[in-house]
Amino acid sequence: MTIATSGRTAVVTGAASGIGAALARHAARQGMAVAACDRDAHGLVRLEADLDAAGIAHCLRVVDVTKADELASFAAECVELLPPTALLFVNAGVLRGGGVLYMPAADWRLLFDINVLGAIGTLQAFVPAMVAHGHGGQVVVTGSTGSMVVAPDLAAYCATKHALWPVTEALDAELQGTGVGVSLLMPGAVATPIFDAVDPDRAPPADSITPEAAAVIAFDGARARRAKILTHPGYVDRAARRFEASLADLRGE
């Protein structure tokens, strides 16, 4: 059963740029109210100008997803000011690079604080209200193709995105019967600034898609309640090879 979204609210974290900003703008084009947050106040100003021009009800706030009190305050405002939430996009995330033996502990902590604990904090702040209002909805947590494959010098990032796989599957099972489902969005190469902190001169991969294209895929998958939403289907074969090799290791083959 697909989710009705018109006239309801889409909540997006990490909404100042990249996929998050595209999700917020796409939600507005679908006739949804928009609740959006980020640490980047300037990016939110640009987004708010677009939402104002479109005449869309919205609530935009500067929020650090690692701060439970800020998330709770933002969630309470959304309940008070906007229609019931149909779609929650748990999208805030960062990337840092470095080898396992050489990446500073501070960078490991940053990645886990934002990508994992920030995601869990967002779920705890928003999902209970989605269940309580009884209208159903879908939660979409932004993982990565790094949720199922690994790469040298990206171990920490991939580890955080791997962690979101069991989190989303367990939460979906825990929410059975509530009308609220959970999806894991796994983007491949998307033309966003996420790699700027690691390699600002990095050329976009040849198979890159736009944030807007990623947002359309995410929305279609959310409405269809797909458990896994993949932007680059070619990764299925890569994941299959990795999983098959791991199963062979477990069997001692």
Place of tokens 């502990």: 105
CA distance 55 to 48: 10
Place of tokens 């976009």: 204
Q: Which two tokens stand for residue 3?
A: 């989710």
Measure the N-to-C terminal CA separation of the chain; round to a whole number of Å.
42
Of all helices (H) and strands (E), which one includes residue 139?
strand 137-142
CA distance 92 to 228: 18
What size, in residues, is the chain?
A: 253
- The residue annotated as part of the active site, out of 74, 89, 108, 157, is 157
Place of tokens 């010098």: 153
Whether 235 is catalytic is: no
Q: Which two tokens stand for residue 82?
A: 């906007």
Q: Nearest CA to 213 among 229, 236, 190?
A: 190
Alpha-carbon Rg for the chain in angstroms: 18
CA distance 75 to 62: 12
Q: Which two tokens stand for residue 150?
A: 């690994």
Q: CA torsion, points 143, 99, 211, 201, in degrees to nearest 10? A: 180
Catalytic residue numbers, as ranges: 157
